[in-house]
Structure 1
Amino acid sequence: MSLTPPLRWQAVSAPSRDTLQGRSVRLEGLNPARHGDGLWQALQGPDSDPLLWDYMSYGPFNERAAFDAWLTRNAASQDPLFFAVVEQSSGQVQGVLSYLSIAVEHGSIEIGHVCFGHVMQRSVQATEVIYLLAKHAFNNGYRRLEWKCNNDNARSKRAAERFGFSYEGLFRQHRVFKDRNRDTAWYSIIDSEWPALAAGYERWLALDNFDAKGQQKMRLEQLRG
């Protein structure tokens, strides 16, 4: 069998912490001094999601000092590269997530460590966050965007499918977190798929796709091709 033709591939640059601006949210490089209070309230406050930490390798944090130490480690990291999610209209910090598994020589990058406050879940903001990170990656020459999650995490798998990631398979007994086995489900978007997906995201995020009460008229799955 003959080899595939050469790509004449050139490595891409590592992503920066530059702010990514959207209509409903912006993504700022994680800064514990600026974002810590808002993230503590969003992720550990009385209205936070009680299921948030179930499939994470860390958390929940019962003490602020441990939470702040976690944020400080994350802010210093280049891979994962963490961003805080800030609502444009209010300035409220609503979540944190990252790029990770950054392979510049192969043009592959992942979205993960998704920790959204309860108010963000199943929201316009959550969808726009994924759009902004995907757009930034593909606009900067990446070939592959990954999403991985515990195979038991039904919410994360539904999110990956809604966001247009294709299921690729299961890595059995891939990790051990919190003394439990993790079978990892793998999903991806590749660069040839992104233009049609991007157009669907943009149609979904458009103001005229929402009624006066903020309810969507068309679902993202109907619009992303």
Structure 2
Amino acid sequence: MNPSARVLVIDDEPQIRRFLDIGLRAEGYQVLLASTGAEGLALAAAHTPDLVILDLGLPDREGHEVLAELRQWSAVPVLMLSVRDAEAEKVKALDHGANDYVTKPFGIQELMARLRVLLRSRAAPAEAGTPAHYDDGRLVIDLVRRDVALDGAPVALTRKEYAVLTLLLRHAGRVVSQQQLLREVWGPTHVQDTHYLRIVLGRLRQKLGDDPAAPRWLKTEPGVGYRFLD
């Protein structure tokens, strides 16, 4: 599996949204568009983007406020856009959790290069000590290439299945609560939707041939969450 990255653009200028939509799609990205902070946060929670492009000046609230709220529940890379080029504005954005800052007007090629850097950093393991390549002789998970294979054959996973599997892998040997999985994969508005998780785990086990009664990789901790057996 090698899905194209999903990029959420939050900007109130129609011409900027159109410019980025065309440029990103031409590079093979999936694109979500929002014109307000509230709409952007809702899309981020519902669709789990791989990267967010966030304008600093929005009609309903400051980009800094949107970033601060997003950072309460997501570590998605955020690239800030703004006509404000003062050093203090850049420092404030970075201090609030932005990963990069680009001033308008900007060149599309420079922007794409910055996006690629941020996406590579997201593909890297979330925790030091977690390998970028898991291989136990049967199951192979490449966190950089976003590939999964079982007994040498590629395994086709949906975005949610891949996200759940790799989140558990990054915490291998430790229990990950249902609420954490739901919050990080589906968003904070779905922390009670445990049936989503049961469905995805069931499909994952089926595709990996993992017997829940005698699990090789995915173990249920009743009433708590799930654990990747390493």
- Provide TM-score, normalisation by structure 2: 0.27
The structure whose Rg is larger is 2
